[in-house]
């Protein structure tokens, strides 16, 4: 795959970016925050090169044809466990991950983890992808959590490694550089809710049921639930829901701040997906590099003190200054026309 080089428009802009990154480099706290990001992007030194964040903005070729579904599995019997659609036309840039295990209520199995991991890997370096929606193709359910029937057949020595793989998948989903939206049209329990929590935004039908119910099985949430839920709704409320194994509906979830929007379910059972699609359509016209930089600044900045967070914001801002999209935005504003951003 051929990647276009990210070009700096002028030496002044290059110097600005380097100065901004140098500010980060002199701050040990920021360096520690960015170390895993730098390692992931394959950049040797944050101080050496301002291109540490370039992975999230570099162009890549389409992974498949527009508007066509793509299955990720070498097992013919499980070909439909996951559908990946790259939308086209005015929705170009939106990718939809559709969970499709009707007999198992989309429970998280080894095969589903494998296919989703491959799907996430396929989109994370694709500069054409501007938003990812995770939804269910099974009426009445988003994801029922771990596949307990499969789990019961595992040797105790297999359980830990499987949970680690599931946790890694959900972490990678959360680390995607573009915005992600979970469309919850049905039950999202245990690992299913943890998957939704790893997304940037959640939309739910008012009738959907959500909860981290692991304590009912004498275990705890193992794919990020104990960390992401308190970060989303606050520590005290998260403890209450986890300790009690409580299940809430979409309306209560919105009141708790667990979901961004709650919508009445429709006759076709996809009201949350339709609302998520509308939300994605609000995002895709915006500058794609700016969106990715904003996500990175928020995700990294929320974990550190304010001063360090502001330095991270400065570094991310420096990445958008030399882009063609920024110039296009100014030109479109001056000419009173919609901008045409290309992610360059």
Q: Enumerate the active-site residues.
A: 146, 191, 194, 214
**343: left (phi > 0), else alpha (psi -120 to 50), else beta?**
left
**Tokens, residue 92:** 């170009």
Interatomic CA distance for residues 344 and 91, integer angstroms? 19
Q: Are 108 and 151 in contact (CB under 8 A)?
A: no
Strands of 103-154 (E only): list them: 131-136, 141-143
Greatest distance between any 2 Cα atoms in the chain:
66
Q: Are 116 and 159 in contact (CB under 8 A)?
A: no
Interatomic CA distance for residues 197 and 221, integer angstroms? 12
Q: In sequence order, what are the beta bridge partners of 17? A: none
**Tokens, residue 167:** 């946790």
Q: Are 332 and 339 in contact (CB under 8 A)?
A: yes
Beta 82-86 vs 69-70: how paired, if at all?
Answer: antiparallel
Interatomic CA distance for residues 206 and 312, integer angstroms? 37
Interatomic CA distance for residues 166 and 114, integer angstroms? 9
């Amino acid at each position: 795959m051929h990647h276009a080089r990210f070009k700096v428009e002028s030496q002044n802009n290059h110097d600005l970016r380097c100065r901004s990154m140098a500010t980060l480099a002199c701050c040990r706290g920021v360096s520690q925050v960015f170390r895993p990001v730098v390692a992931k992007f394959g950049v040797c030194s944050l101080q050496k090169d301002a291109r540490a964040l370039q992975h999230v903005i570099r162009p890549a070729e389409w992974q498949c044809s527009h508007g066509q579904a793509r299955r990720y599995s070498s097992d013919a019997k499980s070909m439909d466990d996951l559908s990946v659609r790259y939308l086209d036309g005015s929705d170009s840039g939106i990718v939809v991950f559709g969970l499709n295990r009707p007999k198992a209520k989309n429970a998280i199995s080894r095969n589903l983890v494998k296919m989703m991991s491959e799907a996430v890997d396929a989109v994370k370096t694709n500069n054409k992808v501007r938003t990812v929606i995770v939804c269910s193709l099974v009426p009445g359910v988003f994801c029922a959590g771990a596949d307990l029937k499969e789990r019961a057949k595992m040797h105790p020595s297999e359980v830990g490694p499987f949970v680690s793989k599931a946790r890694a998948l959900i972490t990678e989903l959360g680390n995607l550089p573009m915005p992600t939206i979970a469309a919850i049209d049905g039950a999202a329990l245990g690992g299913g809710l943890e998957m939704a929590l790893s997304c940037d935004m959640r939309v739910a039908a008012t009738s959907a049921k959500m909860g981290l119910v692991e304590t009912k099985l004498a275990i705890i949430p193992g794919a990020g639930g104990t960390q992401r839920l308190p970060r989303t709704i606050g520590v005290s409320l998260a403890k209450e829901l986890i300790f009690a194994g409580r299940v809430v509906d979409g309306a209560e979830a919105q009141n708790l701040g667990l979901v961004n929007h709650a919508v009445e379910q429709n006759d076709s059972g996809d009201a949350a997906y339709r609302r998520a699609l509308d939300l994605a359509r609000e995002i895709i016209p915006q500058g794609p590099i700016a969106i990715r930089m904003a996500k990175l600044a928020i995700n990294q900045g929320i974990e550190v003190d304010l001063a360090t967070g502001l330095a991270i914001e400065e570094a991310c801002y420096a990445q958008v200054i030399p882009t063609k999209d920024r110039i296009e935005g100014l030109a479109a504003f001056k000419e009173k026309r919609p901008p045409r951003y290309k992610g360059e």
